[in-house]
Amino acid sequence: MILSDQQLNTLAVVGRASSALSILGVATIIITFSFSKNFRNPMHRLIFINAFYNLFDFIATMISVSGPNAGDESALCRFQAFSLQMFPLADVFWTLAMAYDVFLIVFYHYDAEDLRRLEFKFITIITALVFIPALIFLFIRTPAKGPMYGSETIWCSISPQWVVFRILFYYGPVWLLIAFAMILYCLVGIRVFKLRQNLNIGRADHIQLSSKTSIENHSNTKTSSTLQDDEISIHTTSEHTIESPKSPITPPPTSRIHPRPNHHQSGVSFRHYVLMPLIFFLVMLSTWVAPTINRVQAFIRHDQTSYPLLVAVVATGSLRGFWNGIIFITIGMKGRRRSGRLANHITSIT
């Protein structure tokens, strides 16, 4: 099926409109994070870092059909193909990184400082994994198949002649990473359901990060302190008995005070550290449904193209940044209002 000029123009308009909204959403995330102190927790930081990867992704989709129209050997087509190979895959990696952070919070009681230490590792590993293949593909070509990057009707990416590589190095890793993220969120969901009362989730919007080990140490220290008090009391009693056997035994003085160890407890917001990454994952998951169906159909039936499916691809795939911006602002503002009400309540009590 060969698309008409009108259909191509419609695809370009839909794709560019979605890309423009996504760029607006990315700008909202970057500006909000930069100027508001209420959006600075580690999850916000991961979303902020990923926003720069998303920016190049949506710039590439904004190019739309101009890339294929410029020709497979053009710099515009090759830049678009390189960007669409690298940055959408990076977005999936960052979503998995957020899922991994949620797993560490719920199962291993990682706090904000622990999560911040992982950021540089995430940046290094994710950038290397997506940049190296995308760069190598720029230089791969054969006389029979031509360059690996080429026209894909709605934009430039790995060309149809290299479709196996597109499955192995693009859609395959994407859905493998999505599967890993699903497993992590399922484990987290089971854990949260079992411990929902202990984690203090609900109106308090709070996950307690104190571990059982610290509680046991505190109990052991308290017990040893009590035993030490008892020992001191029994020595005191003996002295009183020797000095005046006929006098009544008086209780030991209570001036000695054994300070109790401080039990350090920390917590994080369930809304910011669990709910927001989960919603980001669901949005990302929904954007990959239409492109994957389109790719499977193209792989099975090389001579058929579904125009409605292409419209869905350019609309949903390019609109991800817009939804990310809405989620970032909405959940962040709700968390800010909740924190403000909690602070006012504590102030009124004290």
Residue 193 sits in a domain of what CATH number?
A: 1.20.1070.10
325-338 mean pLDDT: 76
Q: How confident is the model at residue 197 (pLDDT cuts 50, 70, 90)?
A: low
Q: Which of 192-206, 207-221, 257-271, 275-289 has the lowest mean pLDDT?
A: 207-221
110-119: pLDDT as tens digits: 888 899 999 9
User: How many angstroms from the chain centroid is the CA of residue 97?
Assistant: 5
Tell me whether residue 92 is in a domain: yes
Q: Looking at the domain assignment, is residue 234 inside a domain?
A: no
Provide the whole-model pTM: 0.79
Residue 121 is part of which domain span?
5-209+265-349
pLDDT greater at residue 344 or residue 49: 49
Is 227 among the domain residues? no
Rounded to whole angstroms, how far apart are CA atoms 61 and 109?
39
Q: Could you tell me the two tokens for 257? A: 């005070």
The band of 40, judged by pLDDT with boundaries at 50, 70 and 90, is: confident
Neighbours of 295 (CB within 10 A): 17
- The tens digit of pLDDT for each residue in 277-298 reads 999 999 999 999 999 888 888 7
- Domain-located, residue 260: no
For residue 232, give every residue at least 6 positions away whose Cβ sits within 8 Å of its Cβ, in sequence order, or none: 252, 256
Q: How far apart are CA 19 and CA 167, in angstroms?
A: 24
User: Token digits for 303?
Assistant: 């001579």
How many C-beta neighbours within 10 Å does residue 345 have? 10
Please indicate, yes or no, if residue 226 is contained in any of the structural domains.
no
Length of the chain, please? Answer: 350
DSSP secondary structure, 195-241, as one string: TTTTTT-STT--EE---HHHHHHHHHHHHHHHHHHHHHHHHHHHHHH
Which distant-in-sequence residues (6+ apart) come within 8 Å of 273 by Cβ? 41, 42, 43, 101, 102, 105, 207
255 part of a folded domain: no
Tokens 């607006």 correspond to: 24
**Residues 6 or more apart in contact with residue 36 via CB below 8 angstroms:** none
> Which amino acid does the sequence have at 329?
I
Q: How far apart are CA 311 and CA 321, in angstroms?
A: 18
223 falls within a domain: no
Give a yes or no: residue 37 inside a domain.
Answer: yes
**For residue 153, which phi and psi values (nearest 5 degrees)?**
70, -65
| Total structural domains within the chain | 1
Residues in contact with 301: Cβ distance below 8 Å, sequence separation at least 6, in sequence order? none
